[in-house]
Amino acid sequence: MSAAEGPLVVGVDTSTQSTKALVVDVSTGRVVASGQAPHTVTSGAGRESDPRQWYDALCEALRQCGEPAREAAAVSIGGQQHGLVTLDERGEPVRPALLWNDVRSAPQARRLTEELGGAKVWADRTGSVPTASFTVTKWAWLAENEPESVRATRAVRLPHDYLTERLTGQGTTDRGDVSGTGWWASATETYDAGILEHVGLDPALLPRVVRPGEVAGTVRDSHDLPFSKGTLVAPGTGDNAAAALGLGLLPGAPVLSLGTSGTVYAVSRRRPADPTGTVAGFADAHGDWLPLACTLNCTLAVDKLASLLGLDREAVEPVSNLTFLPFLDGERTPNLPHASGVLHGLRHDTTPGQLLQAAYDGAVHALLGALDLVLDEDADRSVPLLLIGGGARGTAWQQTVRRLSGRPVQVPEAKELVALGAAAQAAGLLTGEDPAAVARRWNTARGPVLDAVDRDDETLARISGVLSDAAPLLERSPEAH
């Protein structure tokens, strides 16, 4: 491998299942070194992770990067959105973080929506109608269920803020990630004092929102990290906003990400405000907007079915009359937090491979249904759908998206677009360039385009039919019987 041509930067993706770090050459975009370390997430009623584990995973991922990480001139952290991190007066977690896919705050989401004027008011005010994923509902859940934790809290952070602060010693966030809290007014781009007061959260506990292109801080003394004191730290952002940067996304280009969460999004110049709540009106990390829909059940649900069936995840067979709604974790799109998986159409001649294909179909159906709402009305529908996330490596995922979308599908060769986006943000601090332009210069979206095939409308209609017929079942938790 040849020596780096330019300065080096580090981009980090601290997502649900693991932390990944890349050392990238600013001149060429070449990934010089990489590392990855897993996280654990609780199972059962809630989804929690200890933030200290994210830091340990960051240190391990950087250790795997070796010497090049020591040469980095700037670093940036992208991370799973929405998680509620509560810190005490020493900066230690009061309790494990409540993650984006923890649905226990569904009653608080419903209640807050009603108490503050309904879905349209929330959408106009914050860009989004809060579901159980949003940080504000988790804070309300904590206040109701663990008031002692709330009393002990001296700082409230998102996952990427937590790691950034471990680097700099300063409490900061950015417009992309803060737009997923539910307490940031997207119309004014400031914390919403009324919402904070309503949920009893002192604004003094919140981080400073760093502007795009601004330095969040510099690395302080640290024995665990390879960085020199004074290394520049970029604002970082939520993982979806980081991937948008990492793709150098221009308005109108749709992305479908297949990871622990499934997401569909596009950059838009218009501030989103969807009163149905399907589309979250996030800000992006660079001054535009990122309308996005997210499902809770994506790669993990399909992998669970493959493992229950004892199949390789690629061992699918064509399906005709079998429908699986893969809502193993409850669901957010559609908003059915208490739902569980539903199977319809099982016969004596159903094969395991058909069951597995039905799981892929169910997961992709939910995402594609939201795609039209995410895109501006004038968006060009022949533009390829960019397929990213761990699942994008899988042939069964690629073919399912192709068949059910009827669109051309482009699969970037670059594997870690969140970490690359973070790296592009760090590079932008050094060169003064727009990070999305850095990513375009690096040609990160390069990859094969799979031609469009005829859309499988029959399967889409069948799944929509089962979804609507199963509505009463999906509203209630199986544990409630």
Ligand X SMILES: Nc1ncnc2c1ncn2[C@@H]1O[C@H](COP(=O)(O)OP(=O)(O)O)[C@@H](O)[C@H]1O
Half-sphere exposure (CA, 13 Å, Cβ side) for 102?
Answer: 30
The single residue among 29, 246, 391, 421 that binds ligand X, judged by CB under 6 A, is 391
**Which DSSP category does 213 fall into?**
T
**Cis peptide bond prior to 334, omega within 30° of 0:** yes
260 binds ligand 5SP (CB under 6 A): yes
The DSSP bridge pattern shows strands 190-191 and 172-174 to be: unpaired
312 tagged catalytic: no
The single residue among 32, 73, 294, 427 that binds ligand 5SP, judged by CB under 6 A, is 294
Contacts for 5 with CB less than 8 Å, ≥ 6 apart: 25, 27, 28
133 binds ligand 5SP (CB under 6 A): yes
User: From ligand 5SP, ligand X, none, which one binds at residue 29 (CB under 5 to 8 Å depending on kind)?
Assistant: none
393 binds ligand X (CB under 6 A): yes
Compose the 243-282 pattern: x for residues touching ligand X by CB under 6 A, - for all others: ----------------xx----------------------
Q: Which of 326, 298, 297, 255 is nearest to 390 (CA)?
A: 298
User: From ligand 5SP, ligand X, none, which one binds at residue 340 (CB under 5 to 8 Å depending on kind)?
Assistant: none
CA dist., res. 243 & res. 259, Å (int): 12
The single residue among 53, 81, 86, 186 that binds ligand 5SP, judged by CB under 6 A, is 81
400 binds ligand X (CB under 6 A): no
Amino acid at 145: N
The single residue among 10, 15, 361, 414 that binds ligand 5SP, judged by CB under 6 A, is 15
Only segment of 50-58, 114-122, 260-268, 451-459 that touches ligand 5SP (CB under 6 A):
260-268
CB 217 within 8 A of CB 169: yes
Query: Which residue among 239, 274, 329, 361 is the active-site one?
Result: 239
User: From ligand 5SP, ligand X, none, which one binds at residue 72 (CB under 5 to 8 Å depending on kind)?
Assistant: none
100 binds ligand 5SP (CB under 6 A): yes
User: How many residues bind to ligand X according to rule CB under 6 A?
Assistant: 16
CA dist., res. 147 & res. 150, Å (int): 5
The single residue among 240, 333, 354, 357 that binds ligand 5SP, judged by CB under 6 A, is 240
259 binds ligand 5SP (CB under 6 A): yes
Task: Give Cα 71 to chain centroid, integer Å.
Answer: 29
Find the shortest distance in angstroms from Cβ 149 to ligand 5SP. 22
Cα angle 376, 381, 386 (rounded to 5 degrees) comes to 90
Amino acid at 160: H
297 binds ligand 5SP (CB under 6 A): no
Complete DSSP assignment for 370-438: HHHHHS-TT--TTSPEEEESGGGG-HHHHHHHHHHH-S-EE--S-S-HHHHHHHHHHHHHHH---HHHH
The answer on whether 81 is annotated among ligand-binding residues is yes
CA dist., res. 348 & res. 205, Å (int): 59
Cβ distance to ligand X smaller for residue 112 or 414 = 414
11 binds ligand X (CB under 6 A): no
User: From ligand X, ligand 5SP, none, which one binds at residue 390 (CB under 5 to 8 Å depending on kind)?
Assistant: ligand X
User: From ligand 5SP, ligand X, none, which one binds at residue 300 (CB under 5 to 8 Å depending on kind)?
Assistant: ligand X
The answer on whether 357 is annotated among ligand-binding residues is no
Cβ distance to ligand 5SP smaller for residue 418 or 436 = 418
Q: Which of 84, 108, 82 is nearest to 98 (CA)?
A: 84
Cβ distance to ligand X smaller for residue 153 or 240 = 240
Compose the 285-314 pattern: x for residues touching ligand X by CB under 6 A, - for all others: --------------xx--x---------x-
Contacts for 204 with CB less than 8 Å, ≥ 6 apart: none
Cα angle 285, 378, 186 (rounded to 5 degrees) comes to 35
Only segment of 166-174, 253-261, 391-399, 437-445 that touches ligand 5SP (CB under 6 A):
253-261
Find the shortest distance in angstroms from Cβ 336 to ligand 5SP. 16
82 binds ligand 5SP (CB under 6 A): yes
Q: Which of 260, 267, 297, 261 is nearest to 282 (CA)?
A: 267
394 binds ligand X (CB under 6 A): yes
Contacts for 29 with CB less than 8 Å, ≥ 6 apart: 420, 438, 439, 441, 442, 443, 444
CA dist., res. 11 & res. 295, Å (int): 25
Only segment of 62-70, 199-207, 233-241, 307-315 that touches ligand 5SP (CB under 6 A):
233-241
Tokens in use for 13?
């993706």
The single residue among 19, 49, 186, 261 that binds ligand 5SP, judged by CB under 6 A, is 261
Cα angle 19, 39, 90 (rounded to 5 degrees) comes to 90
Cα-Cα-Cα-Cα dihedral sign, residues 87, 93, 98, 104:
negative
170 binds ligand X (CB under 6 A): no
**Residues within the interface to ligand 5SP (CB under 6 A):** 15-16, 80-82, 100, 133, 180, 238-240, 259-261, 263, 280, 294
**Residues within the interface to ligand X (CB under 6 A):** 15-18, 259-260, 299-300, 303, 313, 389-391, 393-394, 397
Q: Which residues are annotated as a binding site?
A: 81-82
Q: Which residues are annotated as a binding site for substrate?
A: 81-82
Give catalytic residues, as residue numbers: 239
